[in-house]
Structure 1
Amino acid sequence: MSELQQGLVIAHLGQGIAVEVGEQTLLCQTLRKLDTVVVGDQVMISIIADQQGRIEQLLPRRSVLQRPSRSKQTRPVAANIDTIFVVFAAEPECDFLLLDQYLCICENCNINAAIVFNKIDLPFANTIELELQYYQSLSYPLYKVSSKLNIGISDLQAVLSQQTSMFAGQSGVGKSSLTNALLPDKNLRINSVSETTRHGRHTTTAATLYHLLGGGQLIDSPGVAIFGLAGLSEAQLAWGYREFQPFIGQCRFNDCRHVTDKDCAVRSAVTKGEVSTSRYQRFLKLREKMPPTQPGNNR
């Protein structure tokens, strides 16, 4: 076996996995015994032929994003993401429930979260501004941009240059427009990968990692608009609401569900105005989407 070399997974192709090793890109197969390899993974590979390799080892991940698959299992989508930038806009109508869902997942997956409010060239209601201010009070970074008018793009680029990032959000909010503004030669780049790996037409249907001109990496995953609650437990869902965290340990019961339980510190905080009522109501809605749990004692 040739000496192992470290590489970065940048795309899944129809006949293999594109791995970047230094200045070259190799088309690799993977050992069957390995866990699923995804874009963003750091791997050790052996060279088996000209521009071809085999993934021998999957290096430890600092974070992994998962999505639900069949049989209520989860499967990884991308790895080693530093920040997920949740994109939304005044049009289509702001889906704050979906936004909260993304934030909950990030809180439980060791991934930072930031909010991108796109299409600021369009009018939007004052209620949206109030919600945005609340998220900022929870220390979620907020970037107001317009990919159409090139407003705020340079500020976003500066933040992206320092990390590995990914955009998420509902359809129609402008994720593709933002990606194209940041990666004007996107199609040229992926065609180059296809030619380098001798795969011909690029057939990736999942995520692809791009190096941004100003530094940093952007994982573009057009097929993963919504990654669900990704196997979170009820307790993890509650922890995913950042403002709940100081109160969870003060509840009377260790397994408090924060719904009708006696002496619930979270509900008390809502009553006192220390936690947003609208956010709490969205927590209850997300909780309804969780799989049923074992029946417990009625309290």
Structure 2
Amino acid sequence: MTQTILNVENLSKTFSTKNSQIDVVRDVNFEVNRGEIFGFLGPNGAGKTTTMGMLTTQIRPTSGEIILAEKSIWGNLTDTRKRISIVTQHNNLDRGLTARENLLFHARYFNLPSDEAAKRADRFLDLMDLTERADDRVVNFSGGMAQRLKIARALMHDPDILFLDEPTTGLDPQSRVLLWEEIKKLNAQGTTIFLTTHYMEEPEQLCDRVAILHEGQLKALNTPEELKKLVPGQNVVSVRTGDVRDELLSEAKTLPEVEDATAEMGTLRFYMKDATPDLGELVKWLRSQDVNILSMNLHLSTLNDVFVHLTGKGLEQR
């Protein structure tokens, strides 16, 4: 039976400036189930980090409620902060300490007995593949190693839910994939994970369900596969042209083999009716319209295609 660990109800945040008010998060509602990896997907500026700040008691909402394990997070902040943990984008490790010392120092904040803290440190260093570097100073760690150590540290006080805020930002592709594997292992052991990201491939690889956020509003929430079904036609032809005229897009939508078409950042996307579309006919039409074809590819719909379909903008548009 699915058990809800986090309820977010009508959550909003407005920031006041000298001359105006900015609605950063607007009436957002969702639930996170115990034991799942829940993805919060959207481009930079969508309101992800502000929402994360409210969920982790760092920012007070303008309105709405956040319920963690059937209790308001604001009722007892000390208790709430024992139940959650957050891994931020920036490196806030103590670089003058070793990896093990960083974990043990964190354990002191939560009054863990020294024997228990040592056992947990060994466990999480092993889980994050850092045992061989446990006694090395963090100043010598790569970005990927530092990120894995931050996750190990966040687990030391056994939180109900682990918040990962853009955990792979700045990592090289190999380190990103390695971190994905560590997150999967962690979740397989029962940890509930709330993941914010603007990388479209991340939730496809990791998440049980994904919420899509755009300009502070929740646009859709479902499994990655169900979200991709929102795209009209499961096969997408992307044509990079450098420029897309309005009249070209209008005519593209009327082509008999095209279910729908969108344009953003100099790329024309055709959502095809046929699972094996005739690209030759499409190229012939593009050339008849004097379109400069810089590149062209056919792919199954992705979460980026879902985002374009829902908002008219791509996730890569940052």
Q: Is TM more than 0.5 here?
A: no
TM-score by length of 2: 0.26
